[in-house]
Amino acid sequence: MIDILSDGRLFHLKTRHTSYVFFANPVGRLEHIYYGKRIEDVASILCRHGRQYPASFCPMRQDESSDQGPDILPQEYSGFNSGDMRIAAVAATGPDGACWTDPRFVSHRLTDTKRPLNGLPHAFGNAKGENLEITCRDAFTGLEIILLYSVFEECDTLTRSAIITNLSPAPIQLNRVMSGQLDVMGKQELEMVDFQGSWCRERTAERVPLRHGLQATGSTRGATGHVNTAATVLCEKTTTETQGEAFGFVLEYSGNHYEGIELTQFDMVRVQLGIHPDFFSWKLEPGASFETPEMAMTYSAEGFGLMSRNLHDFMRGHLIRSPWNGKRRPILINNWEATFFDFNTQKILDIARVAATIGIEMLVLDDGWFGHRDDDRTSLGDWFEFRSKIGDMKELADSIHALGMKFGLWFEPEMISEDSELYRAHPDWVLCVPNRPRCYGRTQLILDFSRPEVVQHLYDVMAGLIARAGIDYIKWDMNRNMSDIFSSPLPADQQGEVPHRYILGVYALHERLIQTFPNLLIEGCSGGGGRFDAGMLYYLPQIWCSDNTNAIDRLRIQAGTSMIYPVASMGAHISTQHTTARFIPFETRGNVAMAGTFGYELDLTKLTEEEKATAIRLNAAYHRYHDVISEGDYYRLTDAFRDNPVEAWCCTSKDQSQAVLTVVRRTHFGNVLNTPIFPVLGLDPKRHYRLVNDAVPSEKQQVFPGDLLANMGLWCQELGHNDCDSIVYFFEAID
Ligand code: GLA
């Protein structure tokens, strides 16, 4: 709900448990006032809200006596070089060469429906009237800035973005445009959580105290990257999974991103998310507009757990558009870790035949099926069959379909090998700086997706094959990051636009494919989880979480990922774990993979009879638990910031009728107590729950009250004592 008070100058955005308040002050600066636990009536807020006296070395405008000074004012969207010395939300160079911006409030508008962003991911489906547009102007530079706010009441989430329009008669250069900003006041000793990593170590949650100055994370890799995800969290020193304040911020964007947190000299905190200002500039012609990516933010007064559940609900309910959202995905077998490039039709069909007998529902043919690709040095861009290896794609797809399975295919649409027909035909289609040496990543170059003809070509080729062969799923990979960024058709003063234009091209291709094939299941990927972001989730419902498929390593990766992204979006497979050598029981590999979109990535023809029996059991369990795990509420029961000897999580259905508790023993130290106790959270304290045990008749199964399971917890006596043992408990309400 949005209340507008004080003659249209005080704005109160309310969700179920939160309030967000800001004010257009007498000189037209948008002052941020409050974000936190819900307040019913904020009308009195203005008579005492904190006016600060001007501080030394904080510039003031002399013509604005009532202004408390831009450098100490909490602001909704700050300008540049006009008095606020902190990180700016918008910085532009005007026609006169002045790099100076100063947004001032002009008007507001409430709208019934949320304004879509052109060619960019944006949340949808909030209630009527929950959208606020605040128009500001910088009359000197000639910029109009519309700040968009939308309220997603039931998941305590707000979205923000900005639209910048050039009202002047000459071009303006945008140098920095954030999606949103939050100035937090009155909090002591805040900490930040970010999600560090690398290939095979994605999204490791890291928590550090804020220090004075700017601490920024982000990516200038042209993509989200393995090193940081496009999200950040602010929390109190004492925040835990279940207690304390946590502010979660997520950018719905897949390109260069920036999460800046500045702790100021006066202990205020400014948070900004947006396109990374390095390698960004945008020439705004007169009358033209620039739309920023959207960011989402949530506030939890009950720790990281509620913050994550808010974001999961927001993404599942308002961001992921695929018709597969909310539905069980087919259990898949991907041949990559089974064969790498060494396969042919016979090998693929052998794997598929075993898959069909153990309840696997889709075969995904990974890298190596196209051009003449037998290693990673060739053929990217040639998206036609490698006939001597796999024959005709339709025939292969028909054979898989005849086994009762779906058929999926790997693509890396944005890439090109120099050894390819596409490169020989269009050497100018790559991103590269003329007369400069090029960098290669995995021996490949990047197609210039900022060019519409490149996007059109990829659409024609991919759509043609998907339609001709009857492809049910595609894995969209991206195996290197950007360097040598330059697009030959663009003039010199627009080269700073290339990274963002590239991402708009990627989104355009996704959009066209999903419009043409609405039921196509697409899985995102970038060398594992290098492009795991909320922007991608707007186009596809699941993303390969990491090339590290070692179930014990995955505990940390999946816990970090779950801080922000829903379990239903995380690709997780049982494999032979080529990236590490540790032995992990098949069952544990399955129990960990089940907390994601489940599948296999190993040579099924080499499974023992015992492993096959386990796979059949795991597949049945996945069917049984799927709705609870993927669509329910997710509770981390162990500290996501460290590797715990025993890890646990539980998922509870929204109607509180079922819960799944998973416990994994990472390592067993000598002389420690063996039986961990974990609570089962989210259950109805007044109902009773049977611990389902198929080995005994239901009347003999143990029954516990919901409050006992939540407050005392379950003694996990069945958990084995060896490293990497695991157990899954399933509870069903009986009343
Ligand atoms: C990336 C992906 C893998 C696999 C390979 C194929 O690394 O993350 O799953 O598809 O590419 O080259």
Task: Give the tokens for residue 67.
Answer: 């202004």
Average pLDDT over residues 331-343: 97
The distance of Cα 598 from the centroid of its chain, to the nearest Å, equals 19
d(CA 48, CA 40): 17
User: How confident is residue 52, by pLDDT bands cut at 50, 70 and 90?
Assistant: low
Question: Is it the case that residue 218 has pLDDT exceeding 90?
Answer: yes
Instruction: Name residue 159's beta-bridge partners.
Output: 150, 296
The count of other CB atoms within 10 Å of the CB of residue 722 is 11
Asked if residue 402 is part of any domain, the answer here is no
Beta-carbon contacts of residue 717 (< 8 Å; ≥ 6 apart): 675
Q: Whose CA is nearest to atom 7 of ligand 1?
A: 527
pLDDT of residue 373: 98
d(CA 636, CA 650): 7
pLDDT of residue 186: 84
Supply angle C-alpha 698, 700, 705, rounded to 5: 85
CATH of the domain at 704: 2.60.40.1180
Positive/negative CA dihedral, 413, 416, 421, 425:
positive
Per the prediction, the chain carries an average pLDDT of: 96
Instruction: Report the relative pairing of strands 213-219 and 257-263 from DSSP bridges.
Output: antiparallel
Q: Whose CA is nearest to atom 1 of ligand 1?
A: 527
d(CA 289, CA 165): 4
Task: Tell me the best of 479, 542, 543 to mutate to test the pocket of ligand 1, counting ligand atoms within 8 Å of each CB and taking the most.
Answer: 479
pLDDT of residue 14: 98
The count of other CB atoms within 10 Å of the CB of residue 275 is 26
Beta-carbon contacts of residue 588 (< 8 Å; ≥ 6 apart): 551, 664, 724, 725, 726
CA of 409 to the centre of ligand 1 (A): 12
User: How confident is residue 501, by pLDDT bands cut at 50, 70 and 90?
Assistant: very high
pLDDT of residue 578: 66
pLDDT of residue 59: 85
Task: Give the tokens for residue 600.
Answer: 């296999």
Question: CA nearest 621: which of 666, 668, 587?
Answer: 587
Instruction: Please say if 3 is a catalytic residue.
Output: no
Average pLDDT over residues 151-155: 98
Residue 313 structural domain: 2-318
Asked if residue 382 is part of any domain, the answer here is no
Inter-residue contact 264 to 74 (CB < 8 Å): no
Average pLDDT over residues 516-520: 98
Q: What is the DSSP letter of 325?
A: T
Task: Please say which residue of 318, 346, 376 terminates a domain.
Answer: 318
DSSP string, 391-415: --HHHHHHHHHHTT-EEEEEE-TTE
Question: CA nearest 76: which of 43, 116, 103?
Answer: 103
Question: Is it the case that residue 720 has pLDDT exceeding 80?
Answer: yes
CA of 412 to the centre of ligand 1 (A): 9
Task: Please say which residue of 283, 303, 318 terminates a domain.
Answer: 318
CA of 444 to the centre of ligand 1 (A): 14
Question: Is it the case that residue 51 has pLDDT exceeding 80?
Answer: no
The residue type at 276: H
Task: Tell me the best of 378, 525, 543 to mutate to test the pocket of ligand 1, counting ligand atoms within 8 Å of each CB and taking the most.
Answer: 525
Ligand 1 atom nearest to 376, measured from its CA: 12
């060739």: which residue's tokens?
378
Report the SS3 class of residue 422: helix
Inter-residue contact 191 to 210 (CB < 8 Å): yes
Question: CA nearest 39: which of 7, 15, 73?
Answer: 15
* Catalytic hit among 67, 547, 633, 725: 547
Tell me how far CA of residue 684 lies from CA of 97, 436, 631, 704, in angstroms: 63, 65, 17, 11
The count of other CB atoms within 10 Å of the CB of residue 702 is 12
Ligand 1 atom nearest to 366, measured from its CA: 10
Average pLDDT over residues 395-399: 98
CA of 546 to the centre of ligand 1 (A): 9
Q: How many domains does the chain have?
A: 2
Question: CA nearest 629: which of 599, 647, 653, 600?
Answer: 653
d(CA 11, CA 687): 42
Q: Whose CA is nearest to atom 4 of ligand 1?
A: 336
pLDDT of residue 69: 84
d(CA 631, CA 627): 5
Asked if residue 357 is part of any domain, the answer here is no
Q: Whose CA is nearest to atom 6 of ligand 1?
A: 367
d(CA 338, CA 620): 23
Beta-carbon contacts of residue 616 (< 8 Å; ≥ 6 apart): 358, 359
Average pLDDT over residues 306-323: 98
Question: Is it the case that residue 50 has pLDDT exceeding 80?
Answer: no
Ligand 1 atom nearest to 410, measured from its CA: 10
370-391 pLDDT per residue, tens: 999 999 999 999 999 999 999 9
Asked if residue 327 is part of any domain, the answer here is no
d(CA 195, CA 204): 5
579-632 pLDDT per residue, tens: 666 789 999 999 999 999 999 999 999 999 999 999 999 999 999 999 999 999
Task: Please say which residue of 318, 350, 367 terminates a domain.
Answer: 318
Beta-carbon contacts of residue 562 (< 8 Å; ≥ 6 apart): 308, 570, 595, 634, 636, 640, 649
Beta-carbon contacts of residue 695 (< 8 Å; ≥ 6 apart): none
Query: Where does residue 326 rank: exposed (0-12), middle (13-18), buried (19+ CB within 10 A)?
Result: middle
* Catalytic hit among 183, 366, 477, 725: 477
Ligand 1 atom nearest to 475, measured from its CA: 10
pLDDT of residue 187: 86
Q: Whose CA is nearest to atom 12 of ligand 1?
A: 367
Residues enclosing ligand 1, CB less than 6 A?
A: 336, 366-367, 410, 477, 479, 525, 527-528, 544, 547
The residue type at 465: L
The count of other CB atoms within 10 Å of the CB of residue 710 is 18
Question: CA nearest 593: which of 378, 257, 331, 252?
Answer: 331
CA of 372 to the centre of ligand 1 (A): 17
Average pLDDT over residues 351-357: 98
Question: CA nearest 141: which of 93, 79, 175, 186?
Answer: 93
pLDDT of residue 249: 98
Asked if residue 457 is part of any domain, the answer here is no
pLDDT of residue 55: 76
d(CA 427, CA 516): 29
pLDDT of residue 579: 63
Phi then psi for residue 461, to 5 deg, are -70, -45
* 385-386-389-391 Cα dihedral, nearest 10 degrees: 30
229-245 pLDDT per residue, tens: 999 999 999 999 999 99
Average pLDDT over residues 71-99: 96
d(CA 140, CA 693): 72
Ligand 1 atom nearest to 340, measured from its CA: 6
Ligand 1 atom nearest to 544, measured from its CA: 8
* 191-193-197-203 Cα dihedral, nearest 10 degrees: 160
Q: What is the DSSP letter of 293?
A: P
Strands (E), 253-353: 257-263, 269-275, 282-284, 289-291, 294-300, 332-334
Report the SS3 class of residue 630: helix
Instruction: Please say if 96 is a catalytic residue.
Output: no
Question: Is it the case that residue 545 has pLDDT exceeding 90?
Answer: yes
CA of 6 to the centre of ligand 1 (A): 56
* Longest CA–CA separation in the chain, Å: 83
Tell me how far CA of residue 507 lies from CA of 118, 164, 391, 473, 535, in angstroms: 10, 21, 31, 18, 9
d(CA 486, CA 445): 13
pLDDT of residue 471: 98
Asked if residue 409 is part of any domain, the answer here is no
pLDDT of residue 210: 97
Asked if residue 514 is part of any domain, the answer here is no
CA of 544 to the centre of ligand 1 (A): 9
Asked if residue 249 is part of any domain, the answer here is yes
The residue type at 65: S
Question: Is it the case that residue 548 has pLDDT exceeding 60?
Answer: yes
Percent with pLDDT over 90 in the chain: 92
CA of 578 to the centre of ligand 1 (A): 12
CATH of the domain at 124: 2.70.98.60
